[in-house]
Amino acid sequence: MRLALAQINTTVGDLDGNARLIVERAREARRAGADLVIFPELCITGYPPLDLLENSSLVEGAAATLDFVAREVPADVGVIVGCPVPNPDPVGKRLQNVAILLEGGREIGRAVKALLPTYDVFDEYRYFEPGPHRSVVEFRGLRLGLHVCEDMWNNEEQAPYHLYRANPVDELAALGIDLFVNISASPFSVGKHAVRNRVVREICLEHGVPFVLVNQVGANTEVVFDGDSRVHAEDGTTLRCAPSFEEALIYWDIDSRTADPEPFRSGVAQLHDALVLGIRDYFGKTGAFSKALVGLSGGIDSAVTCALAVAALGPERVEGVTMPSAFSSEGSVTDSVALSEALGIVIRRIDIEPAVDAFDRMLAPAFTGTEFGVAEENIQARVRGTTLMAVSNKFDHLILTTGNKSELSVGYATLYGDMSGGLAVLADVFKTQVYELAWHVNERAGRIVIPENTINKPPSAELRPDQKDSDSLPPYDVLDDILERYVERQQDFAHIVADTDHPESLVLRVLDMVDRSEYKRRQAPPGLRVSPKAFGMGRRVPIVMRWTRRRVASENRVDP
C-alpha cells in the first residue's frame, strides 16, 4: 500500500480554496499510485479558526465542503481530512475536532480529538468537546491508530508533569494497530523540528509501530506552521521527511524501510525562513496590500525587516522610506540607501525636521520651564509613524514595524510612532538574534546586502544628540538572557538570580520594565510567533494589577 502525505497551506475560512487544494492534491497523489492520502488537522476550515467556529454558517459550510471533497476526490483512493463537526451528544461543547477517513464518496471512519490544548496560542476547549473513546480505523485491512495533533504529545514517559490524564497513543496501541497516523496543526518555534522528531521516535520505540505525521505548513496571522511531516519506522528511524516551510506531497510504501536522512537546518536558518513565510502568507492571504512599506533608519532592525520582506515578496513589492531628523547621523541615510540598492528596492527620502519643528513651536507654551526629554524625543518617532501611515494610506502599502522582542519587552518603543503598522516582523526576535539574522542574510546572498556599518555601529534610536541604546538599557546579551528566562521559560526573579551572575537590582529592574510595558504591547500590531512564548495571543498578562515582585526572605516573610 502506498501512502501520500499532503503537507498543504490552508487559509482560515477559505472553504472553497481549501477544498480545491485538497481535491487537487488527492488527484495528483492518485496518479502517482497512492492508495491513501493524508491531510493536516482542520484542513477543511484552516487552522486556527478561533471564534469563526461560533458562526453557524461556517460550521454548515464546512459540512457541505466535506461532502464536496468526498464526491470530488477519486473514488478509488482513501483520503483523511480534518474538519469540525457537531457534537452528537446534547451535553458539552457544540463541536468536535475530527479526523475523517473518506473513500468512495462517503465516510468510512473517524477519530475525535481527545486532548484539547488550552495553553499558549491554543484555546481548543473553548470550542470543542473531547472524544471520550479511542477506536481503530480500518482501511483495506490496515489497522490505523488515527489521532489528532495534541493526542500524541502526552506520551513522554520521563516528563515531570503531564497535562492530561488520558494517553491516546497508549490506548490506541493497546487495541492492536499496524500504523499510527497523526494529523496536525503544530505551530513552529525554533528547535521544534528536533522536539517533534524526538516525540515521534519515542512513541515508535515504546510500541514497536510505525508512525505517520502530517502537519500543516504556512502562516495564519501570527502563527507560523513549518510542516515537517514525517514517517518513522517501528524502531524510530526516519523513513520520510517533508521539507520545512513549503508545501509538499511525499510518498511512502508501507513495506519500505529505506531511510531518509534528517535534514539539518540551523536555528537562524529556521528563523529566517519562518519569518519570510509569515510575511508572504500575511500578504497573500489578506490580499489587501500592493506593497510592503518599511521605515529605514540605517539601523539593523529596519535593515533585517526589509531584507526579509524582499525575500518574501520580491523587490518590486517592497519600498523603503528614510526620514532623517536633526539628530540623525549621516549613516542613517547613507546606510539606508546602500541597503535599498543592494536589495533593488525603491527608497523615498522624507525629511521630518519641518514637522518636528512645528510640533516644538506648538507645544512650547505648554512645555515652558521644562527640560528636553522623552516627550520631545517621541515627537520625532510619532512624526515618522504619521509619515509612514500617510504613505501607506495613499498607496495601499502595509507598514512592517521593525521593533524587536527585546525592545517590546521593556517598553523601548514609541506608541503611535515606531509601533505604528500592520505586521510586526521581529516582535518575537530578540536583539541578539537580529544580529544573527543580519549575518545570515549576507551569508545566504553570498554578498553584502545589509551594510557592515549597519551591523557594527552601536544601536541608537537617534532621538537626541549622541544617543545610544546602552544609555537606557543593559548590554543586549545580558538583557536578552534575562528576558529569555522570564518571558520564554517563565522563570521568575529568584530563579533568574540563582541561575545567573546578573545583579539582583538589574534583574528586578528588567522584570518590572516588562510588566509595566504590557499596555504598550496590547496596542502593537500582530507579531509573527517564532519562539515557544511570544507576546500577543500566546501570553495573557493583565494590564491593571497590584501584584508587585518581592523576594521571600529566609524566614518566609514577604517584605511589605
- The catalytically annotated residue of 41, 124, 129, 319 is 41
State how beta strands 217-220 and 211-215 pair.
unpaired
Widest CA span in the chain: 86
Which residue, among 215, 203, 191, 189, has the nearest Cα to 264 in the 3D structure? 191
Give how far Cα 72 sits from Cα of 16, 33, 98, Å. Answer: 13, 17, 20
Indicate if 150 belongs to the active site: no
Which residue, among 1, 521, 547, has the nearest Cα to 256 in the 3D structure? 1
CA pair distance 14, 16, nearest whole angstrom: 6
CA pair distance 66, 131, nearest whole angstrom: 20
CA pair distance 425, 414, nearest whole angstrom: 16
CA pair distance 535, 540, nearest whole angstrom: 8
CB neighbourhood size of 238 (10 A): 18
CA pair distance 46, 51, nearest whole angstrom: 13
- The catalytically annotated residue of 103, 113, 377, 407 is 113
Backbone angles phi, psi at 539, to 5 degrees: -135, 115
Which residue, among 524, 546, 549, has the nearest Cα to 536 in the 3D structure? 524
Query: Which residues have C-beta within 8 Å of that of residue 483, sequence separation ≥ 6?
Result: 405, 406, 409, 410, 430, 510, 514
Reduce the secondary structure of 126-186 to three states and give it as a string: HCECCCCCCCCEEECCEEEEEEEHHHHCCCCCCCCCCCCCCCHHHHHHHCCCCEEEEEECC
Q: What share of the chain is helix, strand, coil (3-state, %, to 5)?
A: 40, 20, 40
Evaluate the CA torsion angle 299, 304, 306, 310 in order and state its sign: positive
Indicate if 149 belongs to the active site: yes
CA pair distance 52, 12, nearest whole angstrom: 9
Compute the radius of gyration of the chain from its Cα atoms: 26
Q: Are 274 and 528 in contact (CB under 8 A)?
A: yes
Q: Are 263 and 234 in contact (CB under 8 A)?
A: no
Cis peptide bond upstream of 48, omega within 30: yes
State how beta strands 230-232 and 238-241 pair.
antiparallel
- The catalytically annotated residue of 43, 83, 149, 306 is 149
Indicate if 405 belongs to the active site: no
Which amino acid is present at 241? C
Helix axes 267-286, 300-313, angle to 10 degrees: 60
Backbone angles phi, psi at 413, to 5 degrees: -155, 155
Q: Which sequence positions are flagged as catalytic?
A: 41, 113, 149
